[in-house]
């Protein structure tokens, strides 16, 4: 009677080991995708303006990567009226009023590789500033980790590749925000 029981124990342990291994592997895959899913979910809920400005939750922002050759950046927006000394600036209009728009400036390093992207976002009324900042904060917290507040600035410094500054730069005449994405050195 002992021999048939022994013959069952070894296959049962092998089966149990196999099932536990499969569960661990599946759990690891889920853990990897969860942060990516959180970023995608935050981006999907961020609102039309954040989505139009960021283009997608891929890469750093606007499908660009740090160190990318400036000549390889292919932004389809129209060039901004004023251009920086270094880099290129584009304008994205959110409607036909000319009051809701963003200037997007790509800034290279000395080797003409992308090192910074700045957004100067202007809105029609001051009441629109805080909701837009909140949308950006939720999305950027999901993508780059928790932010910290220093005075009027919200900073993201925990990501090993990117530093971000978000700030309300409104004046009575021109309500808006500024966001700077910089390569961490």
Closest alpha carbon to 159 in 11, 59, 62, 84: 59
**Distance between CA atoms of 33 and 51, rounded to whole angstroms?**
21
% of the chain exceeding 70 in pLDDT: 82
What's the pTM value of the predicted model, to 2 decimals? Answer: 0.79
pLDDT tens-digit profile of 136-147? 999 999 999 999
Q: 101 pLDDT exceeds 80?
A: yes
Residue 71 to residues 53, 83, 87, 111, Cα–Cα distance (Å)? 20, 16, 10, 12
Q: What is the pLDDT of residue 36?
A: 85
């Amino acid at each position: 009677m002992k021999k048939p029981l022994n013959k069952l124990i070894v296959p049962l342990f092998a089966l149990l080991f196999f099932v536990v291994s499969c569960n661990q592997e599946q759990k690891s895959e889920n853990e990897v995708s969860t942060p990516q899913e959180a970023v995608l979910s935050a981006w999907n809920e961020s609102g039309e303006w954040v989505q139009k400005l960021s283009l997608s939750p891929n890469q750093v922002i606007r499908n660009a990567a740090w160190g990318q050759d400036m000549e390889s950046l292919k932004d389809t927006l129209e060039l901004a009226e004023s251009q920086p000394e270094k880099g290129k600036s584009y304008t994205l209009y959110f409607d036909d009023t000319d009051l809701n728009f963003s200037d997007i400036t790509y800034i290279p390093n000395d080797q003409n590789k992308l090192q910074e992207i700045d957004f100067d976002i202007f809105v029609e009324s001051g009441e629109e500033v805080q909701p837009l900042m909140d949308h950006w904060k939720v999305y950027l917290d999901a993508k780059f980790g928790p932010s910290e507040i220093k005075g009027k600035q919200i900073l993201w410094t925990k990501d090993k590749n990117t530093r971000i500054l978000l700030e309300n730069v409104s004046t009575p005449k021109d309500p808006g925000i500024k966001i700077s994405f910089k390569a961490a050195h």
